[in-house]
Structure 1
Amino acid sequence: MLPVNPNAPVDARIRAVPETKYLNADNVARYRLIMRFFYDNYRKLKYWLKPEEVFEAVSATGRVSEYTLELCRQDLEVLTEWKNLAKRHDGGRAATIEEYLRKRFRYQMTRYAVEIERMLEALENLQGYGGSLEPTLLERLAGYLRTVVERDTAFTPDEAGRLWRDIQEAFRNLQENASDYLASLHSGRAEELMVTEQFLPFKDRLTHYLQNFMVGLQKYAPQIEGILRRTDPDRWEQFLHAVVQADLLMPSLEESFTEEEQLCRRREEWAVFVQWFTGTDREESDVADLERETKNAIARVVRMAVAIQERRRVGLSRRQELDDLGQWFFRIDSRAEADKLAAYAFGLFRAHHFQGEPQRISDAGDLSMWDQPPQVRALGSRSRARRRAGSAEPVRDTRREQAETRALVLARKAAESEVVARFLELGEFDLSELDRLTPFHRQVLLQWLSRCLSNVSRTAHTPEGLEVHISDPPDRRRTVLQFEDGEMSLPDFHVRVREVTAR
């Protein structure tokens, strides 16, 4: 167990709150009526009340039976014991002997009690989450920060205090309103509305509202982050010192803080503000979370609207529509017009990707896919029905495919041998001396040039037992080679090809 220091000050965040006892006490009805009467007079700037005034007000409501002045005094003492009320001696002139003998008191609400009643009043009028998405708050924050950065002279305490209150108020409203509004889109009532037909007329206004906030968020949030990151920290420190001076000049009869304590509080509040827009090394900023949640809300609204529209279409017969479309296709003579109509009617079909390298008949870049031969791919069955265990499968005869493959390989080798024999017959030649060539000549020639250029000696050896050497053309001369499917411009290399004998 951790040791407890009895002399240590009690942290307000973890201490017991006796001021809320009257909300769940046995006589809660009487206590609530008394505290609400005090709160109504507090807003009328009438702070100290007599027991007789409280008794008359509670009795006038008619909600408490057999209520006496003595019971009212007891209730006031209980509320004083729970620190909801503070009392002081009433030194007025006594009208009767009983009043002279009895101590007379007046009662006033404590600060805690005022905030509790204010919270209860807000809860009584609460309907849903409320909130709003206001991009003007971001614009205002960016303007306030520019005022601090662009100020040439030092802030006076009054100016710094007003600007600090404006920054904190706009920041608090942005946080609370945005959180409440986005939470309302996930409430049970919103879920019920989004699945009904009544949501469709509301969808456009809601989407426009969210998109308008998203535009403001994407416009001003980076500006605020940039200002916070680029500005010298000393400038913000000077501003906080001026804010603290404004706090010290404000007279307060309650608990006061030293200058160092007040400066520490303002630094903590400023650190929260900076982290909300810039984040940390380990976590992204809260404004990024807000942007992501807003995008998700827009996508969710659109999905719900599409789902409602899809449900509308269920059960509608499209037989006549499809019949008219089929007749339209039947009357078209050209394939190009049919392709256009299919694009308008069905849009783009889902693409299917097959692994493998296609067989191109030419290297021309302007060759259309319609001019190439079809690529045959065997697709496996997607049926979930399993083959019965132990059933026999026929043995496929692949001798025909093997013979066709063998013939293609031999033909390719023969063509390659013919090309190599032609270059070997030439021995030495310039590229400009070559006549019209085939695409296969180009493939072999470019392979040789690539191997030679990658070697410092400009020499390469081929698997056929040839030694190929190239020399750079004089004066960087270039030439254009003619092929059956086009032209190619490249340096006019001098090529020497000879056959070498293996040792």
Structure 2
Amino acid sequence: MDPMLTPAGLRAVPELSYLTAINVARYRAIMKFIYMEYQRLKYWLRPEEIYEGVQAWGVLEGYTQEQCLSDLESLKAWGNLASRHDGGRALSVEEYMRKKSQYLLTPYAIEIERMLEALEKVKGYGGSLETTYFDTITACIHEIRLSAMEFETGEALRNWEKLYEAFKTMHENAADFIASIHSIQAEEMMATEGFLALKDNLVNYLQHFVKGLQNGAYKIEGQLQRIGDGLRDAYLEKVLADELGKPRLEEGKSPDELRVELQQGWDNLKRWFIGDEQELSELTLLERATKEAIAKVVRSAVRLQERRRGGMSRRNDLESLGRKFAQLDSLEEAHKLAAYVFGLFPSRHLQGLDERGTERTDASTWDEMPNVRLIRTRSRKRSNRSSAEPMRNYAAKRESYREQLLQQLEEERAFVEQMRELGKVRISDMPLLKSKERMRLLQWIGRCTATASKAFITADGYRISLVIPGDEAEEDAILRSEDGNLMMRNYTIEVAGGEAAHG
């Protein structure tokens, strides 16, 4: 579950006040010096030492020791410094009673200075795509599956820190690297000629990561799915016990807070590799983003190559090609040379329903009647019409279509009546059929097999049913028609009823 948001998490952060104060340069110099001394393991500093250290840099003109004392007290008020009374070197009571202090960085101030130090080194997104982290994660999870219940004191915490550090570093580096490919600097670099020299290495790098992702990460996904809730809870309890067993000089997080933090970390790990019901896993999204980055790199390289070729003169090539055409003796040879040089000319694809005269598979396309298609011009210029066009009359076309439809219905009724007179008839006993009758019979068989009752009723009330032969039935039959013979199963077809039956 997600960590609870408390009012303490929404408080103001006065420790950041020195970064936006009026005398920010003085505060930054003091904090920088104290932090550098902290890294040298020198923690408590006297005001004289701080003032001398800041003055040695020579960045603050006219800076006095009184101003340094005032700045130290301001930093203490904001919570960046802690102080204690320094009376160890006093030679008299008056000197001891005079206010003298030593200053120490607070934990908040240390983290702020670390953040500022890291920000100074930022030159871009950075990041990397390393597959070695997958090996570390795989080894840690494999150790959990085999030995989680047998971990000695401290081993569970060591395993968890190694596991989560590898997972966190891998995720952050990968996210930063993918973001760097989509940055403005990368876009500008991909538009330069020098990018072509880097293209192959970058594509190979991305492809290597995708292969490692597919080989290693999906193994991790499978191992995580095998870890049940009981084993997970037992492992996290051992990690919690190791964490609580560390000696602490300061008040830390409560056991419940640590337990929630560990559970959240495990859920993040599992969601990254496996996902949940609402969204895809981060693993899938990273693989998709990497493949899109490969496509983007390739597209940029292709655009650069096309731009480079576009500026080249083809005059010499065309003159040489023209001389070869001039040396040919026949038009047929010229056609062949043009086919080799230019290939096929751009074709146009026309969609529509082809009106075929036969269903024979061996019939050639050239033997079919042409299908006429009217093509409208794509020109945007409007033609000047000298006079208004009359309203078009489609009455003759509608009448022709009506007669054609009535003729088709009459032929269908005649065939249905013919089949009704035959009663139950098998395919092997069918008479010689016309081409249209054969097509209509196959349509009937298709409609019957598509229903559970293996039957259907026509618009005129005829009931057409089909009996499918069993596996032990005789061999397949041949349906004979004017345009050829069709071998098929020996169905039994029955036509019954009609308009009289419903009357």
Name the TM tier (shorter chain): 0.7 to 0.9
- Determine if contact 1:132/1:180 at 8 Å carries over to the other structure: yes
Using the TM superposition, give the Cα deviation of residue 263 of structure 1 relative to its aligned residue in structure 2, in angstroms: 1.2
User: Which consecutive residues of structure 2, in runs of 5 or more, have no partner in the other structure?
Assistant: none
Give the fraction of aligned pairs with identical amino acids, expressed as a percent: 40
- Determine if contact 1:481/1:487 at 8 Å carries over to the other structure: yes
What is the aligned length?
Answer: 491
Match of 2:488 in 1: 490
Q: How does 1:406-425 map to 2 (within 5 A)?
A: none
Name the stretch that deviates more: 194-203 or 144-153.
Answer: 144-153
SS in 2 for 1:13: helix
Using the TM superposition, give the Cα deviation of residue 233 of structure 1 relative to its aligned residue in structure 2, in angstroms: 1.0
SS in 2 for 1:251: coil
Q: How does 1:37-56 map to 2 (within 5 A)?
A: 37-56=33-52
Match of 1:292 among 268, 284, 288: 288
Match of 1:124 in 2: 120
Question: What is the alpha-carbon distance in structure 2 between the residues aligned to residue 19 and residue 458 of structure 1?
Answer: 85
Q: How does 1:25-424 map to 2 (within 5 A)?
A: 25-94=21-90, 99-100=95-96, 102-151=98-147, 153-316=149-312, 318=314, 324=321, 327=325, 333=332, 341=340, 345=343, 352-356=349-353, 358-367=354-363, 369-386=365-382, 391-393=387-389
Structure 1 counterpart of 2:486, which letter? M
- Determine if contact 2:467/2:493 at 8 Å carries over to the other structure: yes
- Determine if contact 2:148/2:156 at 8 Å carries over to the other structure: no
Describe the shift of the 1:501–1:50 C-alpha distance in structure 2 as closer, same or farther (beyond 3 A): closer
Describe the shift of the 1:412–1:62 C-alpha distance in structure 2 as closer, same or farther (beyond 3 A): closer
Structure 1 counterpart of 2:105, which letter? M
Query: In the alignment, is residue 22 of structure 1 matched against residue 18 of structure 2?
Result: yes
User: Which consecutive residues of structure 1, in runs of 5 or more, have no partner in the other structure?
Assistant: 1-8
Using the TM superposition, give the Cα deviation of residue 22 of structure 1 relative to its aligned residue in structure 2, in angstroms: 2.2
Using the TM superposition, give the Cα deviation of residue 319 of structure 1 relative to its aligned residue in structure 2, in angstroms: 6.5
Question: What is the alpha-carbon distance in structure 2 between the residues aligned to residue 297 and residue 449 of structure 1?
Answer: 53
Question: What is the alpha-carbon distance in structure 2 between the residues aligned to residue 451 and residue 56 of structure 1?
Answer: 100
Describe the shift of the 1:52–1:336 C-alpha distance in structure 2 as closer, same or farther (beyond 3 A): same
- Determine if contact 1:459/1:470 at 8 Å carries over to the other structure: no
Structure 2 counterpart of 1:293, which letter? A
TM-score, normalised to structure 2, is 0.78
Using the TM superposition, give the Cα deviation of residue 115 of structure 1 relative to its aligned residue in structure 2, in angstroms: 1.5
SS in 2 for 1:307: helix
- Determine if contact 1:225/1:278 at 8 Å carries over to the other structure: yes
Using the TM superposition, give the Cα deviation of residue 169 of structure 1 relative to its aligned residue in structure 2, in angstroms: 0.7
Name the stretch that deviates more: 438-447 or 396-405.
Answer: 396-405
Question: What is the alpha-carbon distance in structure 2 between the residues aligned to residue 442 and residue 140 of structure 1?
Answer: 69
Using the TM superposition, give the Cα deviation of residue 483 of structure 1 relative to its aligned residue in structure 2, in angstroms: 5.5
Describe the shift of the 1:316–1:163 C-alpha distance in structure 2 as closer, same or farther (beyond 3 A): same
Match of 1:4 in 2: none
Name the stretch that deviates more: 99-108 or 142-151.
Answer: 99-108
SS in 2 for 1:86: strand
Describe the shift of the 1:67–1:437 C-alpha distance in structure 2 as closer, same or farther (beyond 3 A): closer
Using the TM superposition, give the Cα deviation of residue 197 of structure 1 relative to its aligned residue in structure 2, in angstroms: 1.4
Using the TM superposition, give the Cα deviation of residue 127 of structure 1 relative to its aligned residue in structure 2, in angstroms: 0.8
SS in 2 for 1:66: coil
- Determine if contact 1:129/1:184 at 8 Å carries over to the other structure: yes
Question: What is the alpha-carbon distance in structure 2 between the residues aligned to residue 104 and residue 319 of structure 1?
Answer: 89
- Determine if contact 1:157/1:243 at 8 Å carries over to the other structure: no
SS in 2 for 1:16: coil
Describe the shift of the 1:43–1:442 C-alpha distance in structure 2 as closer, same or farther (beyond 3 A): same
Question: What is the alpha-carbon distance in structure 2 between the residues aligned to residue 498 and residue 27 of structure 1?
Answer: 104
SS in 2 for 1:48: coil
Name the stretch that deviates more: 445-454 or 271-280.
Answer: 445-454
Using the TM superposition, give the Cα deviation of residue 182 of structure 1 relative to its aligned residue in structure 2, in angstroms: 1.7
Structure 1 counterpart of 2:195, which letter? F
Describe the shift of the 1:480–1:95 C-alpha distance in structure 2 as closer, same or farther (beyond 3 A): same
Name the stretch that deviates more: 11-20 or 175-184.
Answer: 11-20
Structure 1 counterpart of 2:12, which letter? A
Question: What is the alpha-carbon distance in structure 2 between the residues aligned to residue 501 and residue 65 of structure 1?
Answer: 113
* 1:280-315, Cα deviation, whole Å (9 max, x unpaired): 333333333323332332222222222222222335
Using the TM superposition, give the Cα deviation of residue 246 of structure 1 relative to its aligned residue in structure 2, in angstroms: 0.9
Using the TM superposition, give the Cα deviation of residue 54 of structure 1 relative to its aligned residue in structure 2, in angstroms: 2.0
Describe the shift of the 1:470–1:184 C-alpha distance in structure 2 as closer, same or farther (beyond 3 A): closer
Describe the shift of the 1:345–1:170 C-alpha distance in structure 2 as closer, same or farther (beyond 3 A): farther
Question: What is the alpha-carbon distance in structure 2 between the residues aligned to residue 469 and residue 13 of structure 1?
Answer: 77
SS in 2 for 1:203: helix
Question: What is the alpha-carbon distance in structure 1 between the residues aligned to residue 179 and residue 36 of structure 2?
Answer: 32
Using the TM superposition, give the Cα deviation of residue 239 of structure 1 relative to its aligned residue in structure 2, in angstroms: 0.8
Give the root-mean-square deviation of aligned CA atoms. Answer: 4.8
